[in-house]
Amino acid sequence: MGTKNIIITPKIKDSHIKIIQITGGVILRKSILLTVILCFSLCITGIASAGEKKALETTEDAIERAQELFPEVIKGKEKELNVNFRENSQEEKDYWSIRWHSHMPGKDYAHFHLKMDSETGTLYNLRFDVPDKEKTRKQVLTRSEAKKKALAFARKYHPEKLAKLKLDNTHRLNRHGDELDLTYNFRWVRKINGVFYEENEIRVRVDALTGKVIYFNCNWSKLLNIQEVGIEKNELTDKIIKNLGFYPCYDIEKKPGSRENKAVLEYHLNTNQHQFSAKNGKPVDHQGNELSWDETKSYDSKFNIIPTPEKKVTPEKPVKNINRSEAEKIASEFFDKIGLEGKIDSSGGSTRRESSGFEEKYWEYRLKPGTKQEGHHHIEVRINARTGKINRYYNRVHTMPGNETEKAKISKKEASKKVEEFLDIVRPEGLENMVMRKEYDHPNDHDYDFFWAGLVNGIPFEDNYLRVSVNKQTGKVENFYTRNYQVKSFASTKDIITESKAAEAFKKNKPLKLDNDRVYNQQKQVDKTILIYRLNHTPINARTGEVKDSQKKKESIEPYKEKIQSHWAKLPLTLFAENGLLPEPEKFDTNTAVTRIEGLRTLAAACDRHYHPDVTDSPFSDVKKDGENFGTILNAVNNGIVEKGGKLNPDNALTREDLAIWVVNALDFDKVASSSIEIKLPYKDSSAISKDKKNYVAIADGLDIINPNKNGNFRPQDKVTWGELASVVIEVAPELRD
C-alpha cells in the first residue's frame, strides 16, 4: 500500500510535527518551518524619533505618524486600518485611535490597537495580540530580560516621563483568576512625598514566550494640590475601630465548580465606605466629600447572636407549578395595583438550577405603556413559577443624559413611604427575619436605594436580600429584586470570637494603605487630588480570627531560585513559580514526582477556557464535591483533558504515559489517537506502553512534546518530575488558548 499525507490542523505548530509511521502506510510529515511574522515584530527602531512632537489634524496625519512609530507593523495595511478621532476629556487629551486585526481565526489571529495624542503625536496606549504560532518554549524569557525590553520600550516613547517614575515592585504580585499567565507585567509610577500618585504612571506587559511588548499605557494627568499626611495610620486604625466597630455575618464559602456551598461566620467592618481622609481621618466618598461616621455605617444596632449548632439546610421542594396563563394573571393584577396600564406581553422565561437539586423557574412579562406614559419605558416583572411570588420588577424611564445632578424632588423619608406601600403589594407577609442595611445616599445618585439582608440565627446573611430603588425625581419605584441563595449549611454560632478579638485581628493586619486619589466633584465642579487611606476589605474568620485575603497573588520566585537556577527547565519552572503552581518551597524539588491532581491543575490553568456548569454529581467516585480540588478537576473534565468516570486517583504519581494522554486530549487530537489505525512506535520499550495508549504516546512524541531518551526508551511508567511537567505545559500552553 502506498503512502499518504495526513494534515492535522487543530492547535499545533508546523515546526513541531515529526514523521510518524502508521500501520497501513499513512504518515505525518514534519515541516521544519520557523515562521517569523515581521509585520508584527514591534521593532524598537523607527523612522522618526518616538519622542518627537507632531500635531495630528487629519486621518492621513495619524496614519503617517503610526508609520513613523511602527513601520514594520503598519506597512502594507494602510487600506485596512480603522482610524478614528476621539475626544477624551477624562484623560485630558484628544487622540487618534488606529486598529487592525487579521481575519484569520485561531493561532494565526493577530491584532493591534494604538492611541496617539492628537496634539503631540506621542504614543500613549498600545495593545497587541501576538499570533500563537510565533510562540515556542525556546524563546521563554526571564523576568530580568523582559524588564529590559519593557524599560527600553517605555524609555523610547516617554523618556522624560519615565525619568520621574519609580518601578513598583509589588505590581507583578497581583493577578486575577487561576489562568497560567504567560506575560511579565511592569509598572512605573510617580511617588510624591513617598506615596504613589497613580495618575502619573507607565505600564508595560511583555509576552514571556516571544519577548514582544503586547501592552503599553502612559497615564499622565496634571498634579493637583497634593496634600500632606495629617493623621498617622495607627491613630486612624484606632478611630475606625472605635467609631465603626464590627458586625458578625454569614458569608458563602465558595467551592469552584460547585453550588453546594457552606455559609461560614465572619466579622466585617461596619461600613460601606473604604476611603478615609489622610488629613483628618474622616470617611470620604468617591468624589472626595467628607462624611460623618454615622452615615457610613452599614447597621445602626448590635446583633443578638442566637447560640446554635451547625444548621443543615433541608432542600426546599417545589410546592406549586404556576403555568404561563396563571403567571400572566398575577402580572396583570400586580400592574393594576401599582397603577400601570398597557398591554402585557410575555418576554419568555428563565431557569436556574439551585444547589438543593431542583430548577427554579420564572415567568417574565413586559408591559407596553399606554399613551399617557412619558418617555421611553422598559417595564418588566418576573414571577417565580413555584411560589407565584414576584421575584423582580423593573421600571426605568430612559431620558436624555444630564439629569443625574438635578436636586432630588422627594426626600429619602418620603421615598421610604413609597417603598412601604410597594412592599405591601409585592410582599404582604412583611419583612420577618430580615434587617435593613443602611445605604449611603450620594447626592448624584439617580435613586434612593433600600436594602434588607436576611437574618439567620440573629446574624445577617447578605447573600439573601431584598432591594428596592426609588427615583429621586419621580418618586416611583424603579427596581425591586429579591434573592434567596441556597447553601448546604450554616456554621455554628457557638464559641466564636468576640468583636474585640476581631478588632485585634483587624489592627494586626494593617489594612490601610496611603494613596493619592484624584477626584472630580460634580456638584462643585472641582477637580482635585486628595491624600487618602484606602481600606482593604478584610473579612475576619469569626472562629479562628484569621484575616481572609481575597486578592490572589503571584508567588515570589526567590524561595525557588536556588533549586531551579541550574536546572535544564529553569525558564518554564520560573513561570510556574511566578504563577503559584509549584508546591511550597520547602516541599519542592525539581525531580520530585508530580501527583495526578498537580498535573491536572497545571494543564487546566494553561487552558483559558473555563466552564461553570451546574453540578449534581462528582465526575469520579473518589472525588468529593466539597473537596479542595473539585473546581480544578471539573475544569479539567470540561476541557476534555481527562474523561470522567471511575476513579481519578488524584494523589497517585503522574506517569509519562498518562501525561501524554492528557496533552493529546487537551490539544484536541483525541479522535486521531482513538482511531482504529495503529501508529507504530519506534521505541525499544514499546511493549511496556499500554495498548490503548500507544497512539497517544506516538502523537505526543510526533508533536515533539514528550520524547524518548537518548537510548530510545520512552519510559511510559516513569513518574513525571516538576521539570518535565513545566517544560511540557509551557510548550503547549499557547495552543490551549482559544
Q: What are the residue ranges spanned by the domains of the chain? A: 38-220, 233-312+493-541, 324-485, 558-736
Which DSSP category does 733 fall into? G
User: What is the mean pLDDT, run by run of 10 residues, along the chain of 738 residues?
Assistant: 34 41 37 28 42 83 92 87 81 83 71 92 89 64 91 94 90 61 92 86 92 92 80 94 96 67 92 92 90 93 93 72 90 93 83 57 84 62 91 74 62 95 94 93 86 96 96 93 89 94 92 86 74 89 84 67 90 89 90 92 80 67 80 84 90 94 91 85 87 89 86 91 93 78
Beta strands in 209-300 (DSSP E): 213-220, 246-253, 262-269, 275-277
Is residue 249 within 8 Å of 462, Cβ to Cβ?
Answer: yes
Name the nearest CA neighbour of 609 among 9, 7, 8, 11. 11
> What is d(CA 194, CA 209) in angstroms, rounded to the nearest whole number?
35
Q: Is 609 helix (H, G, I), strand (E, B) or coil?
A: coil
Name the nearest CA neighbour of 502 among 455, 450, 548. 548
* b (16+ CB within 10 A) / e for 593-616: bbbbbbbbbbbbbbbeeeeeeebe
> What is d(CA 82, CA 103) in angstroms, rounded to the nearest whole number?
14
Is residue 275 within 8 Å of 286, Cβ to Cβ?
Answer: yes
Q: Is 503 exposed, middle or buried (0-12, 13-18, 19+ CB in 10 A)?
A: buried
> What is d(CA 635, CA 642) in angstroms, rounded to the nearest whole number?
10
Q: Is 179 helix (H, G, I), strand (E, B) or coil?
A: coil
**Strand 20-21 versus strand 4-5 pairing type:** unpaired
**Strand 390-398 versus strand 434-437 pairing type:** unpaired
Name the nearest CA neighbour of 672 among 661, 682, 657, 683. 661
Type of residue numbered 618: S
Q: Is 421 helix (H, G, I), strand (E, B) or coil?
A: helix
Which DSSP category does 106 fall into? G
Distance from CA of residue 45 to its chain's centroid? Answer: 35
Name the nearest CA neighbour of 160 among 261, 53, 63, 83. 53
Q: Is 493 exposed, middle or buried (0-12, 13-18, 19+ CB in 10 A)?
A: buried
> What is d(CA 640, CA 416) in angstroms, rounded to the nearest whole number?
53
Q: Which three cell numbers stand for residue 581?
A: 503552581
Can you give the pLDDT at residue 20? 45
> What is d(CA 140, CA 101) in angstroms, rounded to the nearest whole number?
25
Q: Which residues make Cβ contacts (< 8 Å) with residue 282, sequence separation at least 6?
A: 276, 290, 291, 292, 293
H/E stretch holding 240: helix 233-243
Is residue 670 within 8 Å of 664, Cβ to Cβ?
Answer: yes
H/E stretch holding 714: none
Q: Calculate the alpha carbon distances from 20 to 28, 671, 672 in Å.
A: 5, 16, 13
| Dihedral sign for Cα atoms in the order 722, 724, 727, 732 | negative
> What is d(CA 456, CA 489) in angstroms, rounded to the nearest whole number?
11
Q: Which three cell numbers stand for residue 115?
A: 492611541
Can you give the pLDDT at residue 102? 81
In 545-628, where does DSSP find H-type helix? 558-564, 570-578, 596-606
Q: Calculate the alpha carbon distances from 51 to 142, 222, 465 in Å.
A: 28, 19, 55
Q: How many other C-beta atoms can be found within 10 angstroms of the C-beta atom of residue 550?
A: 8
CB half-sphere exposure, 609, CA atoms < 13 A: 16
Type of residue numbered 336: D
Measured between alpha carbons, how far apart are the two ends of the chain, in Å? 38
Is residue 313 within 8 Å of 574, Cβ to Cβ?
Answer: no
Q: How many other C-beta atoms can be found within 10 angstroms of the C-beta atom of residue 401?
A: 6
Is residue 381 within 8 Å of 390, Cβ to Cβ?
Answer: yes
Please report how the helices 630-638 and 596-606 are oriented relative to each other, as an axis angle in degrees rounded to 10. Answer: 60
At residue 155, φ and ψ (nearest 5 deg) are -70, -35
Can you give the pLDDT at residue 392? 95
Can you give the pLDDT at residue 133? 62
Is residue 587 within 8 Å of 718, Cβ to Cβ?
Answer: no
